[in-house]
Structure 1
Amino acid sequence: MERYNTMSGKKTESSDNIVLYPGLVKRLIEKGMEALKEKDAKKALTMFEQAEQYDAEPSQILFGKALCYVELGKLDDAVLLTDQMLRNDIGNYYDILQIHLSLLVQLGRYDEVVEMLDVVLAEDRLPAKHAESFYQLLHFSRQMVEDSPTYIKEPLSEELDLKETYDDINERDSLEQWHFLQQMRKHNNPADIRTLLSFVESESNDPALRSYALHMLTMHKVEKRVRIRKFDQEAEVIPVELNADEQQRFGNAVVEQLEARLAVENPSLFKMAEQLWWQFLYALYPFTPKPEQKDLWAGAVHVAVHESNGLPFDEEEIAGMYNCRVQQMLEKGEEIHFVETETFQGISGHSFR
Structure 2
Amino acid sequence: MDKQKGKIIYFPKLKERLVEKGLERLQAKKYKEALSFLQEAYELDSTDADVELGIVLCLLELGEMVQAKERCYKILQEGKGDYFQILQIYLSILIHLQQYDEVMMTIRAVLEESDNIAPAFRQNLINLLHFSTKMSEQPSIDLKREETTQLTQLAQLLLQSDHPTEHIKIIKQLEKEDIHSVLPILKQYLADEKNNPLTKTMILQLLTSKRIAERIVVKKFGDALTVIPSELNENRQSDLASEVLYILEKQLSMESPSLYQLAESIWLRYLYILYPFIPESQESRQWAAVLHITACEYQGLKINKKNIAKLYGVSYEQIQPLYQSIWEIEEISLF
Question: Common fold, TM-score beyond 0.5?
Answer: yes
Take 1:112 and 1:192, find their aligned partners in 2: how far apart are those partners?
37
In the TM superposition, what are the counterparts of 1:306-345 in structure 2 within 5 Å?
Answer: 306-344=296-334
- Indicate how the Cα distance of structure 1 residues 259 and 94 shifts in structure 2: closer, same or farther if over 3 A, else same: closer
- Indicate how the Cα distance of structure 1 residues 171 and 303 shifts in structure 2: closer, same or farther if over 3 A, else same: farther
The correspondence for 2:63, drawn from 92, 100, 106, is 100
- Indicate how the Cα distance of structure 1 residues 143 and 278 shifts in structure 2: closer, same or farther if over 3 A, else same: farther
Take 2:140 and 2:295, find their aligned partners in 1: how far apart are those partners?
33
C-alpha deviation, 1:210, in angstroms: 0.7
For the aligned residues, what is the CA RMSD? 4.0
The residue that corresponds to 1:167 in the other structure is 156
Q: For 1:175, what is the secondary structure of its paired residue?
A: helix
Take 2:324 and 2:168, find their aligned partners in 1: how far apart are those partners?
27
Take 1:248 and 1:320, find their aligned partners in 2: how far apart are those partners?
25
Take 1:119 and 1:249, find their aligned partners in 2: how far apart are those partners?
36
Q: How many residues align?
A: 237
Give % identity: 25
Kept in 1, the 8 Å contact 2:290–2:323? The answer is: yes
Kept in 2, the 8 Å contact 1:295–1:324? The answer is: yes
The residue that corresponds to 1:207 in the other structure is 197
The residue that corresponds to 2:242 in the other structure is 252
Take 2:313 and 2:95, find their aligned partners in 1: how far apart are those partners?
34
**Unaligned regions of 5+ residues in structure 1, if any?**
1-85, 105-110, 124-133, 345-351
The correspondence for 1:270, drawn from 255, 260, 265, is 260
- TM-score by length of structure 1 reads 0.57
**Unaligned regions of 5+ residues in structure 2, if any?**
1-34, 40-55, 82-88, 105-128, 145-149
The correspondence for 1:281, drawn from 267, 271, 280, is 271
User: Structure 1, residues 100-129: CA drift from partner, whole Å, max 9, x if none?
Assistant: 36xx7xxxxxx8775567899x99xxxxxx
Take 1:230 and 1:119, find their aligned partners in 2: how far apart are those partners?
41
* Matched residue type, 1:222: I
The residue that corresponds to 1:44 in the other structure is none
Take 1:154 and 1:112, find their aligned partners in 2: how far apart are those partners?
27
Q: For 1:228, what is the secondary structure of its paired residue?
A: strand
In the TM superposition, what are the counterparts of 1:84-123 in structure 2 within 5 Å?
Answer: 98=61, 100=63
Q: For 1:100, what is the secondary structure of its paired residue?
A: coil
- TM-score by length of structure 2 reads 0.59
Take 2:137 and 2:156, find their aligned partners in 1: how far apart are those partners?
27
> Does 1:180 pair with 2:143?
no
